[in-house]
A and B are shown apart, each in its own frame.
Chain A
Amino acid sequence: MPEFPAVWTASFLSDFLADQLIPALNRGLWVTLALIFPSATLGMLLGIVIGSFRTFGPKPIRKLADGYAVIIRGTPLVIQLFILYFGLPNLGIYFEPYTAAVIGFTLCSSAYHSEYIRGGLMSIKRGQMLAAQALGFSRIKALVWIIIPQAVRRALPGCGNELVYLIKYSSLAYIVTCIELTGEGKVIASRTFRFTEVFLVVGLYYLALVTVASYGLHTLEQKLYIPGFGRGDR
């Protein structure tokens, strides 16, 4: 049998959980948060840009952006991180572990975001662009001030899902030596052989993060909701 205390005694709780595990995991939690926030923001912005390119860009740019999305969505994130971290130095490009992880997460989630944004953009009637141009907006301005704000609202549920994915996949950062929540857990688990306890607690941390994020996104969706601008209009 693996190490699993028959009774989780008070001393076990204080010695192992309070003194060892929780401080380490809290340290890891900060790293995880420091990974998620920039990656989520940059990923969303880049996703909007790429999604717009894929919908309204001139043909070569459209093809390029499509190709980008297809390649990123067709390969595992862990391979992308390996190439980014261990591979790019062959070309003279060096990233620190944290930077490599943030770049990897940003690129990956931007590809997925672009998919939802594209769907949102296509759901906005073509006539709106023409109307905006008739009112004297340039194409870019119409896109930024009229089309995208609506499209983002439509894309929000999908993008919210993507954010939840990002929280979970931030656990891959330890593979490129950026020790975050999962990495801290793994270090302790392999030293103490308490895999069950450690990863149950790590799991709870993620559940909390994901639950809070989902709740926040739901609230945001409600906040941004425009009465009458529902899911119809297709």
Chain B
Amino acid sequence: MESLIAVWEAFPYLLQGAVVTIIAVVGAMGLGLLIGVPMAVGQVYGNRPVRFLVGLYVWFFRGIPVLVLLFLFYFGLFSLMGLNLNALAAATLVLGLTSAAYQSQIFRGSIQSLSQGQLKAAKALGMSDFMGIRTIILPQALRLSIPGWSNEYSIILKDSALAFVLGTSEIMARTHFVASRTYQHLPLYITAGILYFILTWAGMRALRGLERKTRIPGYSHG
């Protein structure tokens, strides 16, 4: 009973944490998209040095745990660069940089699955490389990437829980704060788990909706 009261009283506070979580996740996804698309294009169409650099970036960010990256950037590299970011901004940035590595591979897969003749056809019609990629390749590739993207959403959402190590007051950190005061660890962490579960479910549903909405009738791939 005592535990239910603790959860009930903490619930609005945890919900605010969900808003912080959503801000971090949406920010990170957006950032990952902004960096990931050019990286994917560079990896498919770029010259050797570009491909090498993108490969190096992907290797680095996919090979190091998010937790280690958070510590490294927040306490180390960001300060060295003179960036004075608060915990939420830093966590969003690190999650975004990591996600860029993963997203670039999702987009690369989609681009490569398109028939290469399309870009040639675009060029034959007088389009520049850039224009062909932007108006012909990417609109198709991005559509194809939505399933991979929704998977990535669920991963980032769960990774965002690690931001608590920086003191970002998202769901996980807030759960810890309340548990420290009330000593009701189990019910509070179960509540946090349910919140994350709802966010995963809702986000996946929304992305499935997006997939359906952007579908082109009669266009099937593969």
Instruction: Write the residues of chain A forming the contact surface with B, with a CB cutoff of 8 angstroms.
Output: 1-2, 4, 71, 73-80, 82-83, 86-87, 90, 164, 168-172, 182, 185-186, 189, 195-197, 199-200, 202-203, 206-207, 210-211
State the Cβ distance, B42 to closest chain A Cβ, in Å: 22
Report the separation of the CA atoms of residues A207 and B60 in the bound assembly, to the nearest whole angstrom.
7
Report the separation of the CA atoms of residues A164 and B186 in the bound assembly, to the nearest whole angstrom.
30
Answer yes or no: B72 CB below 8 A from chain A CBs: yes
Instruction: Write the residues of chain B forming the contact surface with A, with a CB cutoff of 8 angstroms.
Output: 59-60, 62-69, 71-72, 75-77, 79-80, 154, 157-159, 161-162, 164, 172, 185-186, 189-190, 192-193, 196-197, 200-201
Contact partners of B196 in chain A: CB under 8 A? 74-76, 79
Contact partners of A202 in chain B: CB under 8 A? 68, 72
Report the separation of the CA atoms of residues A153 and B193 in the bound assembly, to the nearest whole angstrom.
33
Q: Is the CB of A74 within 8 A of B79?
A: no
Report the separation of the CA atoms of residues A132 and B193 in the bound assembly, to the nearest whole angstrom.
43
Q: Is the CB of A206 within 8 A of B75?
A: no
Q: Is the CB of A207 within 8 A of B76?
A: no
> Residue A182 contacts which of B59, B67, B77, B161 (CB distance < 8 angstroms)?
B67
Q: Is the CB of B189 within 8 A of A82?
A: yes
Q: A76-B161, A203-B72 are in contact. Are A82 and B65 (CB under 8 A)?
A: no
Report the separation of the CA atoms of residues A4 and B159 in the bound assembly, to the nearest whole angstrom.
29
> Residue A75 contacts which of B62, B65, B197 (CB distance < 8 angstroms)?
B197
Q: Is the CB of B192 within 8 A of A79?
A: yes
Selected A-B contacts with CB under 8 Å, 20 pairs = A1-B80, A2-B80, A4-B80, A75-B193, A76-B161, A78-B164, A79-B196, A82-B189, A87-B186, A169-B65, A170-B65, A172-B67, A182-B68, A185-B68, A185-B71, A186-B71, A189-B75, A197-B76, A199-B76, A207-B63
Contact partners of B71 in chain A: CB under 8 A? 185-186, 189, 195, 199
> Residue A74 contacts which of B66, B69, B161, B197 (CB distance < 8 angstroms)?
B197
Q: Is the CB of A76 within 8 A of B68?
A: no
